[in-house]
Structure formats: C-alpha cells, structure tokens
Homo-oligomer: A and B are copies of this chain.
Amino acid sequence: MDFTQSARSRELLDRLRDFIATEVAPVTARLHAERVAPFAQRADVSGAELWRVSDDFRALQEKARDHGLWNLFLPDPVLGAGLSNVDYAPLAEEMGRNPFSAAVFNCDAPDTGNMEVLHQYGSPEQKERWLKPLLEGEIRSAFCMTEPDVASSDATNMAATAVVEGDEVVLNGRKWWSTGIGSPDCTLLIFMGLTDPEAHRYQRHSMVLVPIDAPGVKVERMLSAMGFYDEPGGHGEVSFTNVRLPLDSIIAGPGRGFEIAQGRLGPGRVHHCMRLVGLAEAALELAIRRGRERVAFGKPLINLGGNRERVADARIAINQLRLLVLHTAWLLDTQGIAGARSAVSEIKVAAPRVAQQVIDFAIQIHGGGGLSNDFPLAGAWTAARALRLADGPDEVHQGLVARFELGRYQ
C-alpha cells in the first residue's frame, strides 16, 4: 500500500488551494446568497431566479480553465489531468470543502461520470458531438437511471424501455433524481432502459444519448432533497414518451448498459467519497472555530460537556475515512474496478455516515444558525444524507461487502 502523493498532484493541490482561497472563496457567500436569499424575504421574487447560472460562476469557470485547473478528474493525460486516483484524491477532497468549487473546475457529478462514459465507450462521432463540449464546459448533462415507480435499488426492477426498431431506438419511461437537469446549460441526457428482457440479466439494458430537446422528452418537475433544490442544476423528474433516436445514439451498442453503468459508478462513487472527506473536514473546522468563539456559562462552547470528545471522535472518524478512501483509490489504480468492488462499497457506506455525524455536530455547535443557510452546514448535511441513497442505498452496498466477506470462507 503506497498512498504517496506525486509531485504533480502536490503542485496541483497547492494551486487549487490557492485558487479556491483567492478566487472562489470571496464570491462563495455571494453565490450562496443569490440562491437562498430571495425566499428569505416576504417580498415577491421570481422562481426563475433559482434556475439560472450566475455570471460570477461562469467567470470563475473561465478563470479556472485558464489556470489549467480543469477536468482534473479525467485520467486521460491529454483530455484531462492524467492523474491516478491516489493523486486525484487530495484534489477532490479540497474541492469537497467548498460547495461550488467542483463545478468551477468542471469536476462535478454527474458530468464527470458522463464524460468518463463517453471517453471510455463513446464512438468518435459521439465524442465529437457530446464529449468535446462537456470537456469544454460549454454544455452540461444529466444521467437518467433511477425510476419513481419501482425500487431502483434492485436494477432488475428497471421498467423504462429502449427498444430497437430498425435503425432507430425508441425510449419510453419515467426517471427521476436526474441531477443537473434543471440547468439552462443541460443539453444531454444519458438514458438507461430495457432493450432485451430475454437476454442475460446483465445484457438486457442499453444506454442512450438523448438531446434534451428531443421530441417526447419532458422535464416534469424539479425535486427537492430535504428541502433543497440544489439549483441551478437541481434534480428532475423526466418523462420519455416514444422518444425516437437514430440507433447510433446507443453507447457501445445495445445490451451494454449494465456493464457501462458499473464502470461509470465506480469512480463516481469514489469521487463523491473523496469530496465528503473534505466536506467533513470543513464542517469540523467550522465547529471548532465557532465553538472557540461563542461563550456560554462562562466558557467557550467547545469546552462544555462532551464537545471536546466529539471533536476527538470526529478527527478519528475523518482520518479513518480518508485512509479508507485512499486505499480504495490505490486498489482502483493497481487492480482496476474488479479488485476494488468491495472497497468502493465500503467507502460508499462509510463516507456519508462520517460526514453526517460530523456535520450534525457542527450544526449543534452553531445552534439555530447551523440549521439556517447562514452557514453551509444544512446543505452539507443534506448532501451527505442524500448519498446514503444516491448511487445505491447503504443496504445494497452493505450486501455487496458482506457477499465478498462471506465468499472468503466458502
């Protein structure tokens, strides 16, 4: 096990930290306020305010690209930064500390996963049409997998269809939790549906590239998660009604949807977990700073009751989590996804738990303010909670870890 960070990763980390501190941090409060402030007034505001990308944000993206802090997640050395997972981990953690920064560096879900899919499985034409503008940050994308009408934790429940008819594929079904679909920049949807119910259970589905303006595609509504809409990207429910597309809209051909999904979700989950480490660190820092500053009963809050024990437990939990994430990254780097399947599920379970616990403590230390949008804690907690369901609920990942573990003693 060698988690040593390369010189290049260290150098990028320094620049990333610097960029976030000097460029992102100063506008973070404003970006945050633009989104949450309107509804804090009794006056009339327009909902449309929510669903647009601010100029501040676009300027940050521009500047980040100019600084070469762009597409850091992509292992391809030409199109991306060419970093190993171990090397990307500290960068992702750093981005996780600030809720806006991953997107600033074009390193945010679901686009990262979608770009990886296109990079790995896309045809030259698909890459030209979709990957290129995604890599440039000109468009954004959504991933349409989970469905409202079935328990999607069991992939075989999927009811949406992608039926091949001659040289076309016809999509029908309803998806939700399609993250990013609210953005005015969202142009591409990746849709997964059942193509051949008679095939082997891992060869039944296809993954299809769908322009958001294709006839039959309708964004029905945006969903809130624990009260948050996460605008402007948001999470949408979207219906597909006889959406007809040329056959070459299918990625890698019919029947490979499951295989692609597995490949897509591996690194995606790891990136989420890397960012959650940073989120937990940021929450702990906020807790300590607030806890030193505010005084009750004659003492700084942090010195009251069990607060210091909770600080220690948070430190222990975060350190353990970071190491487990690094270990998973190292397995991915050295053994590929096949050697890291249990590990990916382990961090997928562990990371949101740790983050939830640390953030909850930080909220408690902040009192009422912790619940409000004056601090990024309520949003951070929700992000962690949502990840106990997104990309597979805890219980499914625990099941996979247990299956591997039991397999050792068969």
| A contacts, CB < 8 Å to B | 1-4, 36-48, 50-51, 146, 148, 150-154, 157, 176-177, 182, 219, 221-229, 284-285, 288-289, 292, 294-297, 301-302, 304-313, 315-316, 319-321, 323-324, 326-327, 342-343, 345-346, 349-350, 363-364, 367-374, 378-379, 381-382, 385-386, 388-390, 393-395, 397-406, 408-409
Contacts and interface: CB of A to CB of B under 8 A. Distances in A.
Contact of A364 (B154, B285, B393, B403): B393
A343 B316 CA distance: 9
B309 A1 contact: no
A226 B224 contact: no
B346 A367 contact: no
A346 B319 contact: yes
Given A153-B296, A285-B409, A304-B395, A39 B364 contact: no
Contacts of A311: 401-402, 405-406
16 contacts: A1-B4, A2-B2, A39-B50, A39-B229, A42-B51, A42-B182, A223-B373, A285-B409, A288-B409, A292-B409, A302-B406, A305-B395, A308-B406, A315-B402, A364-B389, A371-B382
A373 to B, nearest CB: 5
Contacts of A306: 305-306, 309-310, 395
A402 B311 CA distance: 6
B36 A315 contact: no
Copies of this protein chain in the complex? 4
Contact of A319 (B2, B36, B327, B382): B327
B371 A294 contact: no
Contacts of A38: 47
B227 A226 contact: yes
A221 B45 CA distance: 13
Contacts of A285: 409
Contacts of A227: 224, 226-228, 373, 378-379, 382
A304 B154 CA distance: 12
Q: Which of A39, A153, A182: most chain B Cβ within 10 A?
A: A39
Contacts of A398: 305, 308-309, 312-313
A81 B138 CA distance: 60
Nearest to A293: B151
Contact of A402 (B222, B312, B393): B312
Given A226-B378, A309-B306, A221 B43 contact: no
A45 B42 contact: no
Nearest to A401: B312
Nearest to A222: B40
Contacts of A50: 39
Contact of A41 (B47, B151, B309): B47
Contacts of A228: 227
Contacts of A182: 42
Contacts of A310: 306
A47 B44 contact: yes
Nearest to A409: B288
Given A320-B324, A368-B176, A225 B154 contact: no
A151 B406 contact: no
A364 B392 CA distance: 11
Contacts of A289: 409
A321 B308 CA distance: 21
Contact of A324 (B323, B403, B405, B409): B323
Given A227-B382, A316-B350, 7 more contacts: A39-B222, A42-B51, A151-B296, A151-B367, A223-B372, A305-B308, A315-B405
A395 B309 contact: yes
A183 B400 CA distance: 47
A82 B388 CA distance: 45
